[in-house]
Amino acid sequence: MSSPPSPSLPAPAHILVVDDEPDLRTLYELTLLREGYRVEAAGSLAEARACLDERSFDAVITDMRLPDGLGLDLLKQLRARQRPERCVVMTAYGSAENAVEALKAGAFDYLTKPVDLKQFRTVVASAVQGSRETLVIAAREMPHAAETGLGTPAIGQQALDRLVGQSDALQAVKQRVAKVARGMAPVLVRGESGTGKELVARALHACSQRGHGPLVAVNCGAIPENLLEAEFFGARKGSYTGAQQDREGYFQAASGGTLFLDEIGDLPLAMQSKLLRAIQERSIRPLGSTQEVPVDVRIVSATHKDLAADVLAGRFRQDLYYRLNVIEVVVPPLRERREDLPLLCQALLDRIARESGLAVPRLNEQAMAPLYTLPLAGNVRELENLLHRAVALSEGDELAMDQALWLNGSALPCEAEAPALSPGVTGEAPALQATPQGDAGTPPPALTTGCTPPAPPNPLPFDLQAYLDEQERSILMQALEDNQFNRTATAARLGLSLRQIRYRIERLNIPIPQDSESHEAG
């Protein structure tokens, strides 16, 4: 009697390693072979291209500098041909600019030389898993992907659907989220308060191959400064008063998933440097421990601040800013997508009904009309508050939107848009209008101030590069003077390397006293 055929196992992943150093190439090959992968190796761009012309791979691991070009050239070729391979780039130690450039060019991830083999295996496994999941999802959901233009799995599509609206501005955000979710590059979500930045972060996580892992959301402005290190990196028993047992931090809790750092601009400078090291080294040291612990997380951060301005003002580290802002997703304010108001209102009212367990009044055009005259500076959060108030004040089957607005002094209508605006019209933030009249013809005393007229915009520079150079020169001059023209100390103060500070001094033609050079360290 013949035995039943054994179930077929999936073929091992096929990986291409590109490095011009024979010893390192052999080390990577042996490491991957022990993990059960099929491996091919190349020592130059030409050899790598020949291998790629012959067959496809699950992942490509390439050094940044090769004898006949850059690994980025290979990466760009893969992207141009829409090849399925995930690409991991290896960069020299400390070359943060190269890592950021690789991620922006579409690399799945990067490794810093000398490569830690444990981290090497983790990154490769993640790249291979993501590559195969992408192929399975594409095959399974091809009709849906063609219909929506988004090749996301069902759970990711559900997360995107929570971003309510059909405006062009919001559709652009959804498409960008679906595109950038596939890699490991850090993402900075930027937008005004109340625009839904956390929903965007959750959609990024759900659409990625890390969607099955944890999403840990952290409000950086809500943690006392003396607890930041323990909260982020964990603590060992006895490391501080009250630490009666080991506890894990946010990085360990998010292992295998996504760490969402909300209001990253509120993080103190001292903690910014520790966060930067954790991101660069992919390892953390819990409070009270002498050993570093490797971590596997993707960083998504969000802010309503202008971090570039904070960098110039010295409130945010420049090197951390470039690490976090590899890919930027800008969430538009509600005033720039007013055509989404009907859908948003209906979705919010449905949620209010579910949470309260009560039927809510109907939303009609008459109730909608006042909303188109408001600046809605608080965005979706302010809109939700207005609807809560309208539901509470309504009697009968229709929303009493006028009464809800009258009781909200911050939501007065403005005259830039007439009250009769149709729901399909999009408008900018309106200007000042006379205070609405009450039933007796006299406005309530608390509502006589109206809307604050917008401040006049700053004039745009005629030569942007010259303007930026002048701003940078002014900041460098001040920092140099504060540090007695010691370039090493100035570089440390501004979060730059000594080589970067020297380059900027030379480029901007900043004079350095000779006596300061004679005793400068480094």
What would the pLDDT profile of 403-458 be if each residue is shown by its tens digit?
Answer: 666 555 444 444 433 333 333 333 333 333 333 344 444 444 433 334 444 444 55
DSSP 331-380: PPPGGG-GGGHHHHHHHHHHHHHHHHTS--PBP-HHHHGGGGG---TTHH
Specify the CATH class of 14-139 in words. Answer: alpha beta
Residue 328 CB neighbour total at 10 angstroms: 12
> What would the two tokens of residue 1 be?
């009697």
Residue 368 CB neighbour total at 10 angstroms: 17
Determine the pLDDT at residue 243. 64
| β-pair partners for 91 | 112
Highest mean pLDDT among 231-240, 328-337, 350-359: 328-337
Determine the pLDDT at residue 453. 44
Residue type at 482 in one-letter notation: D
Q: Assign domain 464-518 one CATH number from 1.10.10.60, 3.10.350.10, 2.60.130.10, 1.10.1740.10.
A: 1.10.10.60
Under DSSP, the state recorded for 226 is G
What would the pLDDT profile of 124-179 be if each residue is shown by its tens digit?
Answer: 888 887 555 444 433 333 334 333 333 445 788 888 999 999 999 999 999 999 88
Q: Is the pLDDT of residue 279 over 70?
A: yes
pLDDT bucket at 307, cuts 50 / 70 / 90: very high
Least confident of 124-133, 274-283, 312-321, 421-430: 421-430
Determine the pLDDT at residue 516. 60
Q: What is the mean pLDDT of residues 299-328?
A: 93
Determine the pLDDT at residue 420. 37
Rounded distance, CA 264 to CA 268, Å? 9
Determine the pLDDT at residue 201. 95
What would the pLDDT profile of 358-397 be if each residue is shown by its tens digit?
Answer: 788 888 888 788 888 888 889 999 999 888 888 888 877 8
Please report, for the chain, the start and end positions of each structural domain, with discontinuous segments joined by +: 14-139, 152-332, 335-433, 464-518
pLDDT bucket at 462, cuts 50 / 70 / 90: low
Q: Is the pLDDT of residue 50 over 60?
A: yes
- Is 464-518 the same fold as 14-139? no
Tell me if residue 17 falls in helix, strand or coil. strand
Residue percentage of the chain with pLDDT more than 70: 78
CATH architecture of 335-433: Orthogonal Bundle (1.10)
CB burial of residue 465 (10 Å; 0-12, 13-18, 19+): exposed
CATH homologous superfamily of 152-332 equals P-loop containing nucleotide triphosphate hydrolases (3.40.50.300)
Q: What is the mean pLDDT of residues 350-358?
A: 85
Q: Is the pLDDT of residue 211 over 90?
A: no
Q: What is the mean pLDDT of residues 288-294?
A: 87
What would the pLDDT profile of 481-510 be if each residue is shown by its tens digit?
Answer: 888 888 888 888 888 888 888 888 888 888
Q: Is the pLDDT of residue 214 over 90?
A: yes
Under DSSP, the state recorded for 210 is T
What would the pLDDT profile of 64-109 be if each residue is shown by its tens digit?
Answer: 889 998 888 898 888 888 888 889 998 875 566 777 778 877 888 8
Cα 521 to Cα 132, 486, 488: the distances in Å are: 51, 8, 7
Under DSSP, the state recorded for 306 is -
